[in-house]
Amino acid sequence: MRGSSGDAWVEGPDGTRYWGRFGAAGLLAVTAGREVLLQHRAEWSHFGGTWGIPGGARHEHETAVGAAIREAHEEAGVPAELVQVRFSTVLDLGFWSYTTVVADVIRRFEPVAGDAESIELRWTPADEVAALQLHPGFAAAWPSLRDRIF
């Protein structure tokens, strides 16, 4: 790990809390078969019970891409050598940011929960994503991400 951990809450001007002292990042892994890797978030987590992408707090001095790949490996067993970054998008609130890193899957793999943050991990057809109860941030980003990916 480079730098200190970013595992802490940041509070916005309106009192809303965001995870990650140095911002946060997540990996949206996409297969050639139009599937995306989704994580059903543990009930105890922020927006627990919703579906989103593996991700979490960036460490100090860690790039967003590095954080997204590290978190996806920790939470879902994503092998770094089997994903190729295509692009990223940033939600920048001034005091906190979240980077979604979109990556093509070179060879489909079976995700494996590496910690207690997941109820379930699964490859989901792109056409079925919007029907799930999504994490609010991912729900807001999904339409534009989908248009850009497919």
DSSP lists the bridge partners of residue 9 as 19
The count of other CB atoms within 10 Å of the CB of residue 110 is 9
Is 67 within 8 Å of 56 (Cβ atoms)?
Answer: yes
Assess whether pLDDT exceeds 60 at residue 2.
no
Predicted model pTM: 0.94
Q: Which two tokens stand for residue 48?
A: 């627990």
User: If pLDDT is split at 50, 70 and 90, which confidence band does 3 have?
Assistant: low
> Where do the H-state alpha helices sit in the chain?
64-76, 136-149
Q: Does domain 9-142 bear CATH number 3.90.79.10? A: yes
The count of other CB atoms within 10 Å of the CB of residue 88 is 18
- Where are the domains positioned within the chain? 9-142
Strand pairing class (9-11; 17-19): antiparallel
Is 125 within 8 Å of 34 (Cβ atoms)?
Answer: yes
pLDDT tens per residue across span 107-141? 999 999 988 888 999 999 999 999 999 999 999 99
User: If pLDDT is split at 50, 70 and 90, which confidence band does 56 have?
Assistant: very high
According to DSSP, residue 92 is labeled: E
Strand pairing class (55-57; 35-41): unpaired
Distance CA 148, CA 43 (A): 30
pLDDT above 90 as % of the chain: 90
